[in-house]
Amino acid sequence: VLSGCGVYDGTEIHEASAILVHLSRGGAEVQMYAPDVPQMHVIDHSKGQPAEAESRNVLVESARIARGKIASLAKLTTADHDAVIFPGGFGAAKNLSTFAVDGKDCKVNREVERVLRDFHKAGKPIGLCCISPVLAAKVLSGAEVTVGHEEEEGGKWPYAGTAGAIKELGGKHCVKEVTISLPAHVDTKNKVVTTPAFMCETALHHIFDGIGAMVKNVLKLTGK
């Protein structure tokens, strides 16, 4: 499930690509979806500032990553899929929810909430990385997730405050690394698998490997 195209106002592209590579390597068939809604705002990534005069659609922008092969999130059903995965990027906190603005009081997009609840009820695994675990924390009360560490540690974990927000949302936060073994957390009860990804300032290949651990565990939980 994508949330646009670009780290500051949509899907983190490297995370989406890593997920797709690991799913391909795992032999999975993939269908991409995104909500057909306007973005919260548009960021000029060359300046890191909002482009005030622009407006973009989440589904249309997500189609860039999907190479055009994408459908509206309203069409996603548990009957057609064994698992669902959410990459990170600020789009998860801006377009799939209002977490970026409202924190613990955020609202989750209606279709995103439906998908999370439906897959959870069906006992089918849910994978999330980077900032997107806040979605599970908000919708699935008591779910165990990770966004990495709970302290910034000199800038290595610049978004460490998210861990506290997850607890306020009703989730349980588990500290995890990016660069050593077991970089993904598996909540076996809820079948929720999470990994920190770009919540950590580290080398890209470590993030790629951590995402691989998340994808591997999601596929394992499908039992196929």
**Which contiguous run of DSSP H or E holds residue 110?**
helix 110-121
31 located within any domain: yes
4 located within any domain: no
For 89-182, strand residue ranges (E) read: 126-129, 144-148, 172-175
CATH of the domain at 210: 3.40.50.880
Active site residues: 130
Domain count within the chain: 1
Reported as a single tens digit per residue, the pLDDT across 149-160 is 999 999 999 999
* Residue 99: pLDDT band with limits 50, 70, 90: very high
44 located within any domain: yes
5 located within any domain: no
Domain that holds residue 189: 13-222
Other Cβ atoms within 10 Å of 121 Cβ, number: 9
pLDDT of 181 higher than 80: no
Sheet holding 185-187, edge to edge: 84-86, 126-129, 192-195, 185-187
Reported as a single tens digit per residue, the pLDDT across 113-129 is 999 999 999 999 999 99
1 located within any domain: no
80 located within any domain: yes
Read off the pTM: 0.97
In this predicted structure, what is the pLDDT of residue 179? 77
48 located within any domain: yes
